[in-house]
Amino acid sequence: MKEGKRKLKFALAVLLALLILSGCLAAKADDPKMAAIEQVLEQQFNGPDEEFLKAMWNPANKQIVDGVEVNAAFEQQVEGKYGEYFTDQELDQFMRVFGTYFPGLADIYGYELRLDEVDIELSETTANRYTFTAEVAFQKAGEKEQHAEVQGVVLFSNVQKGKSGKFTYTDDDGLSERLKQ
């Protein structure tokens, strides 16, 4: 009789753990901020996107307007791929610092990037702060596939709801250096 009660308690404990875990997973799936982070990472680490890079690199797209270089074709690509995820100020900052970095390196050195897995966590102490770890596969034609874990922090704006006010990579696990080899 005691054995039956123990099995029942164990089964209930397992069931409870599964319910809690599925609730956590559902909460992540329902969080539009997590979905936005994943979309940005997919844009960054799947490709390189030839249309995006062609718009960026093509000298015919560049003009000087009031002493400033302007690339309307590239700006259109950026807005279409990233605009809905960033505040205007952060979109400009992100593109200058990170937005073209990994896709550009992959293109220059002949690598394909693929986003394998993403783990995103909401901070328990800071509102609107998320951390992520993205497993990125990268491979040069004819060579063995390699992997790196890229980590970062995203802070969402309190003014422009649902848009990132800061998107930073904090560690690339040597990805940038390995792409340069």
Instruction: Give pLDDT tens digits for 36-70.
Output: 999 999 999 999 999 999 999 999 999 999 998 89
Measured distance CA(18)–CA(7) in Å, rounded: 16
Asked if residue 175 has pLDDT above 80, the reply is yes
Per-residue model confidence (pLDDT) at position 30? 86
Which among 140, 134, 143, 131 is positioned nearest to 173, based on CA atoms? Answer: 134
The single-letter code of the amino acid at 52 is F
Domains of the chain: residue spans and CATH: 32-179 (3.10.450)
Measured distance CA(138)–CA(178) in Å, rounded: 9
Task: Evaluate the CA torsion angle 99, 90, 92, 29 in order and state its sign.
Answer: positive
Asked if residue 153 has pLDDT above 90, the reply is yes
**How buried is residue 128: exposed, middle or buried, by Cβ count under 10 Å (0-12/13-18/19+)?**
middle
| pTM of the model as a whole | 0.81
Does residue 90 contact residue 160 with C-beta atoms inside 8 Å? no
- For tokens 């000298």, name the residue: 59
Asked if residue 17 has pLDDT above 80, the reply is no
